[in-house]
Amino acid sequence: MKNTFKITKGLYIPMTGTSAKEVVSAGESEQWSVNPNDYHGVVPRLLVQVGDLVKAGSPVFCDKNKPEVLFATPVSGVVADIVRGEKRKLLNILIKADAQNEYVPFPVRDPLALSPDQVKETLLNSGLWTLLKQRPYDCIADPSKKPRDIFVSGFDSSPLAPDYDFILKDQSTDFQKGLDALTRLTEGKVYLGLSVKTQAPELNQAARVEICRFDGPHPTGLVGVQINQIKPVNKGEVVYTANALDVAAIGRFFNTGKVDLTRLVAVTGPMVRKPHYVRCKPGMSIQSILKGNVHTEAHVRYICGNVLTGVQTGSDGFLNPQAHQITVLKEGEGIHELFGWALPRLNIFSFSRTYFTKLVQRFQPGKKYEPDTRLLGGERALIMSGEYEKVFPMDILPEHLTRACISGNIERQEELGIYEVAPEDFALCEYICTSKVPVQQVVREALDKLKAENGD
């Protein structure tokens, strides 16, 4: 089969605030969070009480619909608080960490020497199963369904993305062990998607997987684009997906017998004083990670993830388990009442010819911008203009599928490929949409309805 794919549709968004290849340690965090809301579609059942002692790897809640799927704490300590909302909905589990981290001991075993069921059970018991997602529906992988194939994205093409070559340096043993574990979960293949620019031997020399290389702008690094190019998902099929950095965490677990979720997180964005990498763990407070490394003279927004698909949080928030990047932007508060619509806007990146910036980009192709959070317009009727197709490289009609999702036409959604997509695949469509339609939210709601309709 073809192993190199050239992607021409997409968009590079030039932004200031790329992380320097420098690593610092995070500050002390008084409280850590295990938040059920970080996992879409999960109905949590609490397994601990206030005052309980826990170790790193101890389960603190499970999925009520799939009790075998456990969610573990990244640190040891005592359960300090259990936050509930309306109708006693579980919102957050706060843990006061010990001075020295203690781990739940698991046996050190080679996944290649285990049966598929043993590997699955080990990942479920450790809480690391939650690092695997599935398509259709873009949710935590259903352990009762065997995947046709497993796809791993080994690079990130999103704005200010972390450098996987840098993060995975000297982690070849862990990364390979994680891939070995994944090969035991499927009778098909494990596909590793790499950029043509990938240099790390940890990635290029991966064994027992099929390596596919991709060249092009964002969203080339999204696993959904890679699946569409390599082997699309049809109705009735299930595939698992994983991030290469999470695969390394799975391999570290098999090598050490510890649920050690330590990671390098890229601190990025135009409002960061010194963009760099921070060594930390999920659930850590944002304040401890940033440690005053943000321009305080402006009102800013904190995002766990990138600017297109990340989750907004506050300075008092916590790093979510899916984030390998924190982005800090300026809140757009300036309003030009008189001639706002007619201003040339020379410092705002423009995909279309709406602003004079298009001329600036032509004569200064390397120029980078400092975007803020303003939408610069309100939501209106979705017009079929062919915009989305310019940045959507999958063999799917994005505007037609979006309209089918809005109208709730499930039959039409199935015809247009709803089983293959995830909300993140439409992030660029949402970014350039002149109708300001929240496309990712539309697709997410359609997937949830389809999942309920099918009883999955």
Please name which of 402, 398, 401 lies closest in space to residue 381, comparing C-alpha atoms: 402
Which of 15, 59, 3 has its CA nearest to residue 36?
59
Distant-in-sequence, close-in-space partners of 362: CB < 8 Å, separation ≥ 6: none
Q: Distance between CA atoms of 39 and 36, rounded to whole angstroms?
A: 6
Q: Residue 438: pLDDT band by 50, 70, 90 thresholds?
A: very high
Domains in the chain (CATH in brackets) are 4-12+108-256 (3.40.50), 31-97 (2.40.50), 262-330 (3.10.20.600), 340-454 (no CATH)
Burial 294-320 (b: 16+ CB within 10 A, else e): beeeeebbbbbbbbbbbeebeeebbbb
Residue 427 banded pLDDT, cuts 50, 70, 90: very high
Indicate the helix (H) or strand (E) that contains 203: helix 201-204
Confidence category of residue 381, pLDDT binned at 50, 70, 90: confident
pLDDT of 369: 83
CB 244 within 8 A of CB 168: yes
Contacts of 229 (CB under 8 A, 6+ apart): 5, 7, 212, 214
What does DSSP assign to residue 318? B
Q: Are 307 and 271 in contact, with CB atoms under 8 Å apart?
A: no
CA dist., res. 392 & res. 429, Å (int): 7
Instruction: Provide the pLDDT for residue 298.
Output: 76
Q: What's the pLDDT band for 345 if we cut at 50, 70, 90?
A: low
First and final CA of the chain: distance in angstroms?
32
Q: Determine the pLDDT at residue 357.
A: 65
> pLDDT digits over 131-156, tens only?
999 999 999 999 999 999 999 999 99
Average pLDDT over residues 324-348: 72
pLDDT at position 338 is 47
Concatenating the DSSP letter of every residue in 38-56 gives: GSTT--EEE---TT-EE-B
pLDDT at 376 over 80: no
Give residue 30's pLDDT.
84
Helix or strand holding residue 226 (H, E): helix 223-230
Give me the pLDDT at residue 1, please. Answer: 58
Average pLDDT, the chain: 93
* Under 8 Å between Cβ of 223 and 80: no
Taking the C-alpha atoms of residue 422 and residue 438, their distance in angstroms, rounded to an integer, is: 14
| Beta bridge pairs of residue 151 | 191, 241
Q: Which helix H or strand E contains 139, and what residues bound it? A: strand 139-140
With a pLDDT cut of 90, the percent of the chain lying above it is 83
Q: Which of 383, 396, 452 is nearest to 422 (CA)?
A: 396
Find out whether 294 and 328 touch, Cβ atoms under 8 Å. Answer: yes
Give the mean pLDDT of 334-355. 63
**Shortest CA distance to 287 belongs to which of 263, 332, 319?**
319
Which range has the worst mean pLDDT, 4-18, 56-70, 290-304?
290-304
Round to whole Å and give the CA distance between 193 and 205: 13
Q: What is the mean pLDDT of residues 256-267?
A: 97
DSSP-based three-state secondary structure for 359: helix
Q: Enter the DSSP assignment of 187.
A: S
Measured CA to CA, the distance from residue 294 to residue 300 in angstroms comes to 9
Per-residue pLDDT of 71-118, as tens digits, reads 999 999 999 999 999 999 999 999 999 989 999 999 999 999 999 999
Neighbour order of strands in the sheet with 300-304: 23-25, 276-280, 263-268, 325-330, 300-304, 311-313
* Res 31 pLDDT > 70: yes
Residue tagged 């298009």 (tokens):
358
Does residue 254 surpass a pLDDT of 70?
yes
Q: How far apart are CA 210 and CA 330, in angstroms?
A: 42
Q: Of the ranges 251-260, 351-360, 444-453, which one carries the lowest mean pLDDT score? A: 351-360
Residue 80 has what pLDDT?
97
Closest CA to 168 of 231, 259, 249: 249
Grade residue 372 by pLDDT with cuts at 50, 70 and 90. Answer: confident
Question: Would you state the pLDDT for residue 35?
Answer: 96
Q: How many CA atoms lie within 13 A of 354 on its CB side?
A: 14
Q: Going by C-beta distance under 8 Å and a sequence separation of 6 or more, which residues neighbour residue 439?
A: 402, 423, 426, 427, 429, 430, 433
